[in-house]
Amino acid sequence: MKKLWCLLFLIGFSSPLLVSGFEDEESNCFALRDEICPNANITFWLYTKAKPEGIELSQFNLPKDEFLPLKPLKVIIHGFKGHRNYTPNIQLRPLFNNLDINVISLDYHKLAYEPCYSEAVNNAKFVGRCIAQFLETLLKNKLVKNKDLHLIGFGIGAHVAGFVGNFISQHKLEHITALDPAKPLFLVKDRAQKLDPTDAKFVDVVHTDVMMLGLLEAVGHVDFYLNMGVSQPNCGPINLMETHFCYHNRAADYYAESISNPSGFYGFYCPDFKSFATGVCVPSKDFEVMGFEVHPEARGRYFLDTNSMPPYAMGYNLKNLNRQLKGRTFINDDMIDKFLETNDEA
């Protein structure tokens, strides 16, 4: 059954019955219907260089002095079964604070509780609406400039960031970074139901598990596929779900390294996944850097490999790129051939 579930994800199906097949275990699952904001299940925590331990924020009694003088603000949004001290917060928050960049970590763990995946997907839009309302309060009170506001979402949190962009009314979001945006139940054509490039002035995306937990589809202005987005080094046997969790979480590790490693994660342009996997496109002068130093003008899909151990960044080293799909995933060779023959838009 596990292999069938994986195969359906690969070829583009998304069944609620498969995704929420954990329902027989559910006990504390609940789906919001039309809750008002603020919501007791959604909390905001501010972390600064002076207050690295964090303080909980109230929309009605903001500690304005904590935001002054004005600084760039990163809003970090966790994914399914996450919380404010989980991926990608643990990787990114200390590095940002060391740079004297303020961080707000969202915590909506009761709305993204394991094993309640389908409820978490339902709740994502409501979480996005409440974040938008909170950020509008910060902007109205001049506690952050719109140009200094950057949302970073992981998994389901990447789509939550997109929903923020839909709900915020006074300003168009400046920047969204999506770390391996979630695939299950987001394989839909309606852009309003998932992250897309219209959600901010600039949307950059990091793909690390396109065969299972993350989207293969390009959903940003620029999309980076590290190790094809198929498998990540030293994560375990390809037939285990734990391995895919490692692939998925690795997006946060790569982004964190991009903050401090001067070598940089440089990818080269390829029009689509198929062109890269079949060797049609070759490295040219069209390079872009992934991560913290990404250029807001970057557009298209970019492919790069990593080292097998930290530091992962290889700089401009695009020699001997691994384009092989077979043997790197649970999908058999015949299905990979069929996938590459039919998947013209990936």
Q: What is the mean pLDDT of each run of 10 residues along the chain (346 residues)?
A: 42 36 55 91 97 96 95 98 98 98 98 96 98 96 97 98 94 97 96 97 98 97 98 95 97 98 96 94 92 98 97 92 91 86 65
Write down all domains in the chain, each with its CATH number in brackets. 2-342 (3.40.50.1820)
Q: Which helix (H) or strand (E) holds 121?
A: helix 117-140
Question: What's the confidence (pLDDT) of residue 5?
Answer: 43
Strands (E), the chain: 43-47, 55-57, 73-77, 102-107, 149-154, 175-179, 202-207, 222-226, 265-269, 287-290, 300-304
Question: What's the confidence (pLDDT) of residue 27?
Answer: 60
Q: Which helix (H) or strand (E) holds 251?
A: helix 241-260
Question: What's the confidence (pLDDT) of residue 317?
Answer: 87
Question: Which residues neighbour 297 within 8 Å (Cβ) at sequence distance 6 or greater?
Answer: none
Residue 56, token pair as written in the block? 């909980």
| Pairing state between β 265-269 and 287-290 | antiparallel
- Of the candidates 270, 290, 248, the residue with the CA atom closest to the CA atom of residue 346: 270
Beta-bridged to residue 153, according to DSSP, are 77, 178
DSSP letter for 117, please. Answer: H
Is the bond preceding residue 283 a cis peptide, omega within 30 degrees?
no
Residue type, 42: I
Question: What's the confidence (pLDDT) of residue 28?
Answer: 80
Give the side-chain half-sphere CA count within 13 A for 214: 37
Question: In the chain, what is the straight-line distance between the N-terminal and C-terminal CA atoms, in Å?
Answer: 25
Inter-residue contact 142 to 103 (CB < 8 Å): no
Question: What's the confidence (pLDDT) of residue 23?
Answer: 36
Mapping DSSP to helix (H, G, I), strand (E, B) and coil, where does residue 154 land? strand
Whole-model pTM? 0.93
Inter-residue contact 173 to 164 (CB < 8 Å): yes
